[in-house]
Structure formats: C-alpha cells, structure tokens
Structure 1
Amino acid sequence: MAKDKSPEAEPKRRRLPSAERRQEFILKAIDFFAEEGFESSTRGLAKKLGVTQPLLYRYFPSKEDLISEVYDAVYVKRWQPEWGDLLADRSRPLSDRLNEFYNVYTDVIFNREWMRIFLFSGLKGVDINRRYLRLVRSRILEPIVAEARHEAGLPPAEATDAQVEFVWTMHGGIFYYGVRKLIYESNVSDDQDTVIATAIEALLAVLPGKLANDT
C-alpha cells in the first residue's frame, strides 16, 4: 500500500526567525569546533551544520566572523560581571575571595567544549585563546595583584609583567588541573576545592613579599 505523501502527512520544518537561526548556527558551530577543530572549510562546516554554504554566508560573511561569534558565546558571555565585584570586595580576606572566585570560575571553564575550543584555537593559530588570555590578565590577574598590594598595606601601583607572570603560575596550575581531568582524562584528585585552595595558599604565602621587594 502506497504511503500517503500529502502535505498533511509530512510536517514542514518550522521556519526560524533570522535571530533564532543565527543563534542555532552559533550553537552548532560551538559543537563542531569543539569536536573537529578549526581546519574545516566553510563548505565542510556548512555541510556539518546541515545548511548550504550561501545560506551560512548570509549570516556570517566569513569563517572568521563565525569564529568571533563562537568566542563571544563561549568566553565573553560566560564571564559573570559579579566576579569582578567579588575579587574587589575588600570587606573579606583575599584568600576567601580567591577561593570563592576560582570555585565559581571553574564551574564555567571546566567543561569539554570550553577546553577543547581553547586548545584547538591555540594549536591552529586562531585568535580565540590570545584574546581570552588578554581578558584573563585584565580581569583576573592584574586585579589579584592590586588586591594583594592593598592587603599587604602597599600603595597602589600598576602590575608589572613579572608580577602578573607570578600569578599566572597559580592560575595556570588550576587551569591545567582541568585540562588533565577533562581532556587527558588523567587520574586526578577528586577534591577540586582542596586543589584550588592549595594553589591559592601557595601564591599568597609568597606574593606579598615579592610585591614589597618590587616596590
């Protein structure tokens, strides 16, 4: 018996408004780049997204434009404005602020797509990780130096490259814990809070003296 191929028997795919379709492409591109990296052509990317290349170009004139949107969605928009307020809250000891900050911050960055896109972009020379590292410096590392100076009773001063590098050792250690856990699937400590607390304790045991000596 022949199947009924009338329009009523085959529901049409809902036509999305332009803004929703654009967002759908961005979300699918996030999944794609997290799994495949950044080597694929726009033709291959369009095929993976299930659309034609001309349609993709209507929303994103170039692959770089789409990558920029992915960066904004995965990195910029996941930054919470209250994190800056938390780091600057001088009514609390800096160690308490840093422990709370890194626990909520790692809740955001310790996921597979975040990590894989970040690492793929570094390997292939895509600007995503360089842009994000500049954001980390301005929003996390330099404020930590400023707050450590204040807590040590030192006058305000612009953070030097050497001071920022010193804080990078703590930040990078926490980040690499996440890489080993999520990307390498290594046998790491399940006590993430203690890992973070230990890294912060080691930093604050030495950073005030370094800042005082640099003054």
Structure 2
Amino acid sequence: MVSSRRETTTGGPTGRRLTAENRERQIVEGAIAYFAEVGLDGHTRELARRLGIAQPLLFRYFPTKAALIERIYQEVYLRRWDAGWEAVVRDGALPCLERFRRFEIDYQRRIDDYAWLRIFVSAGLKGFDLPSRYLGMVRERIFAPLLEGMRAESNLPSPREQPLAPDEFELLFGIHGALVYVGLRSRVYGIDGTPDRDAVRAAMLDAALPGLLATHRRVVIAGGPKG
C-alpha cells in the first residue's frame, strides 16, 4: 500500500522512525486491538492518539475508515481461514457427521479469540457487511458440501435434483452458533465458564450430532416436490 522507504515522520511513544511496512503493521495491529475493545464505531482520531501518531499519517496508509476495516477483515478473518477445512468436509472417506465434528472442533478453536469475536459482533450491530460476507463463505464452502454429503449418505435427492433449502442450512448454523456462543460468553459478555472450552464443545457435539441425519432427512422430505 505504501512504499518501503523509511518515514521521516517520527511517531509512537518512543519517537522511533519506522519503515513504511512497520508503520502499517503498527496501525493494523493497533486498530484490531482498538476496535475489539470499543467496537467498530470507534473513531480514527482516537485510534491515532492511542498509536501516538497524527491522524493524517494514519490516512496516508488507510485513506478511509472503510479501507482500514477491510484490512482488518483480511487480517483477522481471511488469514485465519484454513483451506484444510474445505478438504475435511469433502472427504468421502469419512462419515458426514465426523467431517462436521472435525471441522467444528478445529474451527471453533481457531476463532475463540478476543478480537475475532468482538469485532464480528460489533460489525453486525453497526451494519457492516463483514459478518454476512464471512458467513457466506461458511455457507458455501463448508455447509453446502456437508449437506450434499448428508443427502448422499441418506439416499436423498442430490442438490442438482432438489436444491438445498434454507432450513437445511439452518440445522447446521444452529449447531454452529451454539458452539460459537461458548466463546462469546467469555470474550464478549465477560461470563466465565469452564476453562476447557474444547471439552465443552465436544460434549455439545456429542449431544447434537446423533439426531442430525434423521432430522435432516425429515427437513429434505418435507421440502421436496409436492403433488
């Protein structure tokens, strides 16, 4: 975004001169911490003050607040996306419920993070499209292949014969959201639960998954062609 020259402007509490790359990294990391704390309606003027730089310097790197938030989306969300999750949910050597379990256990561990959860909630409340974009990836890259596999395992029509229905996605999002809430209680609401959140999520999956295929089957049949 900015050339690699060394800045002539000093900034930060130490007054050290930073390369452009290091200054940009300072801004991004500071913005993630700041917006995680106060929400995405926080002001860039206050962010600059906390960073110890002038607001015009911040705008040299990110001309608008929207551009800065887009970079946060890339850093906090897209960089943590693991292509291995997409491979797991398409692994035909595993039963579908085991694919779902493996995805969720690793995914939830990855996102159980102060900045990830708090910025995500704030973005939804303040009308930013970050959550809808991200959940769209979960829907299309993770849940759609899982549902297709679940249909095949249950000898139900393929999505080409009968398109995937919103109610099918809601079954998976319902379980998924309950698992996310384990982290939200601590990171967002400040309610302490068990320190072993992996074990809690594993137990929740043990409770939820046994009836999932049968429930999914009923949903698909109910949504099939009428007449």
For the aligned pair, the TM-score class normalised by the smaller chain equals 0.7 to 0.9
Q: What does residue 13 of structure 1 align with?
A: 16
**Matches of 1:135 and 1:205, distance apart in 2:** 26
**Matches of 1:154 and 1:147, distance apart in 2:** 10
Q: Structure 2 stretches of 5 or more lacking a match?
A: 1-13
Higher RCO (CA-CA < 8 Å; seq separation 6+):
1
**Matches of 2:209 and 2:48, distance apart in 1:** 44
Q: CA RMSD in A?
A: 2.0
Q: Is the contact made by 1:121 and 1:128 (CA closer than 8 Å) also made in structure 2? A: yes
Q: CA deviation at 1:188?
A: 4.2
**Matches of 2:16 and 2:125, distance apart in 1:** 38
The aligned amino acid for 2:219 is: K
The aligned amino acid for 2:166 is: D
Change (3 A) 1:187 1:66: closer
The correspondence for 2:189, drawn from 171, 184, 188, is 184
The aligned amino acid for 2:16 is: R
Question: Across the two proteins, how many residue pairs are aligned to each other?
Answer: 204
The correspondence for 2:70, drawn from 68, 71, 83, is 68
Q: Percent identity?
A: 35
Q: Normalising by structure 1, what TM-score?
A: 0.85
Q: What does residue 6 of structure 1 align with?
A: none
**Matches of 1:154 and 1:108, distance apart in 2:** 33
Q: CA deviation at 1:34?
A: 0.4
Q: Normalising by structure 2, what TM-score?
A: 0.81
Misfit runs of 4+, over 4 Å: 187-190
Q: Structure 1 stretches of 5 or more lacking a match?
A: 1-10
The correspondence for 1:102, drawn from 104, 118, 138, is 104
Q: What does residue 164 of structure 1 align with?
A: 169
Change (3 A) 1:14 1:92: same
The 3-state SS of whatever aligns with 1:126 is coil
Q: CA deviation at 1:185?
A: 3.9
Correspondence 1:115-154 to 2 at 5 A: 115-154=117-156
